[in-house]
Amino acid sequence: MFTKSTSANPLVPRKVATWLLVVTMGCGTAGITIISPALSSITKYFSVDEAAAQSLLSGYFIAMAVSQLIYGPLSDRYGRRRPLLVGLAGFALGGLLAASAESFEVLVIARVLQGLGAASIASIIRAIINDSYGRLEAAGAFATISGIMVIVPIFSFAFGGLISDLIGWKGIMFGIFFAGLIPLALNFIFLPETNLRPIPQIRLGSLAQDHLILLTNPMFLTFMLASSFCVGIFFTMIGFVPFEYQRIGVDNTEIGFWFVLIPCGYTLGNLITKNFVHRIGIERMSQIGGLISIIATSALLLPSFLGWYHPALIAIPCFLFGFASGFVIANATMGAIAAAGKLGGSASGIVGAGQMGFGIFGGSLVVSVGGYEHFESGVLILIGLAALSTLSSTLAQHFSKTLPLVEPVEQEAS
């Protein structure tokens, strides 16, 4: 049932089975990726413009960003298990509400509810990993889990378009319902509690102080920004890139299959992270990933320069960006949480909020510059985010040479 710790120390948490973390994280990711190929169908169904589709993503991201700041401290106080189960229930209910929506406004509300639930997955799973592993081991474990669970967005991108063409977008929302219900049942049965040192109580004053401590920690801040800018690129891409595919004559099913290349690249990048993070270090790997992401996002401008529009000229740079993300996200995320020491839950919440926040920020910038109508304008936003991610990783590398590293409290006990 569980992977038990071999230590005799009762305060060392049992390591959660990898398959359970993979299923839970993967199902949470499906809520973001499965809807992307169907955005054009939804806009036609409700007779709204393309920019309005951004609200289906931004509503989800805003809910995730804000509620992760709540789930983190709750998991520090009440343990990881209970808040995660509550969130999974909300995620499933949001999918059911969306499937029955007959107005665009109700659909947006349902997406917000999905985001509120999905936030528990994004925030708490990272904290569970941090509970059980040291700094470098956590980055390797996160990369392993991410690399395995990426099969879910591969299938959700591909089948999202297929379901939309065969059944309609409501079939996708039923898929989100089951993506919440299944991990809810599995975690209720199999998930042990990994936070064996819960904080005595949550005080607003101490909570604000904890957040201030984290946000003034240079190592935490730079790692968090490196991860958040990179994730922000992905969330921004899935909002407006599908419409560029559509403009060059690609249907929903084919859009989904072209999008599959992003998680394929991410899988490869995570595999390299797992095998080389101990040799290269998380700071250096994050920096390399940032540089590759600049190249990848810049390559999206090639069709306009060449005057030749083919879906492969969009998909290949997207694959390269996915590859770069495998270097940045696992390393920078776990570097940030490890730098937080005993405030791992709060740190995970802030990291998740930052990732969602820059997804909202990037999407809003794309709308403001007309990126939904003029693809090249949106790409410039992606390039800017990639440059900021690289700068943040470079600063993290600088601080790692001048500041002491903090190991998670569980490692001190062992």
R_g (Cα) of the chain, nearest Å:
20
Per cent of the chain over pLDDT 90 is: 33
**Structural domain includes residue 405:** yes
Residues in the chain: 414
CATH number at residue 237: 1.20.1250.20
pLDDT tens per residue across span 257-279: 888 888 889 889 988 988 888 88
Q: Would you call 15 helix, strand, or coil by DSSP?
A: strand
**117 or 10, which is more confident:** 117
Q: What is the reported pTM? A: 0.72
pLDDT tens per residue across span 348-391: 778 878 888 888 888 889 888 888 888 899 999 999 999 999 99
Mean predicted lDDT score pLDDT of the chain: 84
**Structural domain includes residue 168:** yes
**Structural domain includes residue 288:** yes
Domain count of the fold of the chain: 1
Confidence label for 139 from pLDDT (cuts 50, 70 and 90): low
Q: Is the pLDDT of residue 413 over 60?
A: no
Q: Is the pLDDT of residue 128 over 80?
A: yes
Q: Is the pLDDT of residue 400 over 60?
A: yes
pLDDT tens per residue across span 76-89: 888 999 999 999 99
**Structural domain includes residue 315:** yes
Range of the domain at 206: 18-413
Distance CA 320, CA 20 (A): 29
Q: Is the pLDDT of residue 134 over 80?
A: no
Q: Is the pLDDT of residue 138 over 80?
A: no
**Structural domain includes residue 1:** no
Confidence label for 54 from pLDDT (cuts 50, 70 and 90): confident
Distance CA 255, CA 36 (A): 9
pLDDT tens per residue across span 289-323: 999 999 999 999 998 888 888 899 999 999 999 99
Q: Is the pLDDT of residue 27 over 80?
A: yes
Distance CA 131, CA 133 (A): 6
| 165: nearest Cα among 47, 256, 293 | 256
Distance CA 325, CA 262 (A): 9
**Structural domain includes residue 179:** yes
Distance CA 169, CA 36 (A): 10
**Structural domain includes residue 9:** no
**Structural domain includes residue 2:** no
Q: Is the pLDDT of residue 204 over 90?
A: no
